[in-house]
Homo-oligomer: A and B are copies of this chain.
Amino acid sequence: MYTHPFDQSEYRQRIKNTKTRMSERGVEILLCTHPANMCYLTGYDGWSFYVHQLVLVALDDEDPHWIGRGIDANAAKVTTFLTDDHIHPYADDYVQSTSKHPMDFVADLIKQKGWERRAVGVEMDSFYFTAACFASLQGNLPNARFEDTTTLVNWVRNIKTEQEIAYMTQAARIVENMMRVGIENVRPGVRQCDAAAEIYRAMVAGTPEFGGDYSAICPMLPTGIGTSTPHLTWTDTPFVAGEGTILEIAGVSHRYHCPMARTVHLGKPPKKITDTAEVVVEGLNNALDAVKPGVTCESVERSWRETIEKHGIVKDSRIGYSTGLNYPPDWGESTLSLRPGDKTELEPNMTLHMIPGVWLDDWGIEISECFRITEKGAETFCNFPRKLFVKD
């Protein structure tokens, strides 16, 4: 038996909120290709996003429609509350065909429903909505008016409910375990892949009370010169005494993420590394202290920047982003960014990952916190020492 992670009423509320935004934008039909948006609106959950699929929301139809590959239709029946007349499987010969495209099928459905002159929202810059998807829709629906709704549902996802927060809290317990296991296994002579394997096991097994899920970004553990950049994964060579390793990982529960980054140094680190780690922690603390409802994203980043500038450190990349429900390739939500120019005001139950990484020519430091916004300020999900870990 499959147990839905949310009550149907929660999905109903999400659909209602989405329709409100559609109305505000003058969009009558919304095509959601982002797997997190599909899951958010219907509960659909499966690793089928390597073929084209989407959830269609029409203002004048109560329920969304799922459209996807034939063999995945039973996944929609198992994981969503949709009735069969709202599940539209396409034939298998649409898959990776050179003569027809799954979006031709979507356009046919839109015409069949009489919606071909409507204002259609498409997620123009969402991975999984390829240039060919849009070309098919434009060709097949010449009388439709297309609107760019890349982050429309992402913004609905921005404020979390108590149940969503509860899953992120579970994810926090999991990532604390993962980080403990990771730091323990980063030792001279241990192969990087063996440390990564233990981190994965902790991620998926979860705790005795609740299981874990796969993360939208794999555990990253750049080491040595690799710490000069954030997104390298492991190899099968061993960790080396005298080198640093960054662990950027996330615990996941029901597709809700709680990311965390820490840096481990094997042996006594050079002064530049201990000094920089202290500045990063000071900047992180100051930026977390600046978080309050009504404060803008850019002003939170300013607290960080003013701290590090005093110490002569420059960082030109953003220090954080909203996070929560997600699928590969990203656990970020593409809405809030903690950086200059983002004037979004923080609100209670937004959830962010603040990750002020510093990457230099041949080394780097990452120490991060995932937090929710409460009336009082930032409430971190994890309870884990906020420091550079030095192992002798």
Hey, which bits of chain A sit against chain B, CB under 8 A? 1-3, 45-50, 70-75, 78-79, 91-93, 95-96, 101, 122, 124-135, 148, 150, 191-194, 196-198, 200-206, 210-214, 217-218, 220, 224-226, 228-237, 316-318, 321, 328-330, 332, 334, 337, 339-341, 357, 359, 361
Contacts and interface: CB of A to CB of B under 8 A. Distances in A.
A133 B226 CA distance: 29
Contacts of A229: 46, 71-75, 78
A218 B218 CA distance: 10
Contacts of A224: 1
Nearest to A206: B193
Contact of A71 (B45, B91, B212, B357): B357
A67 to B, nearest CB: 15
Contacts of A130: 124-127, 129-131
Contacts of A132: 124-125, 148, 150
Contact of A329 (B47, B204, B213): B47
9 contacts: A1-B237, A74-B228, A75-B226, A78-B225, A95-B337, A96-B334, A124-B130, A193-B205, A211-B234
The oligomer's copy count stands at 2
B193 A211 contact: yes
A235 B74 contact: no
Contacts of A101: 125
A193 B204 contact: yes
Contact of A78 (B232, B236, B318): B232
B127 A127 contact: yes
Contact of A316 (B70, B192, B217, B231): B70
- For the complex of A and B, list the 10 residue pairs with the smallest distance between their C-beta atoms, beginning with the closest: A211-B236, A193-B211, A125-B132, A50-B330, A131-B134, A74-B229, A197-B205, A92-B317, A197-B204, A50-B329
A73 B316 CA distance: 14
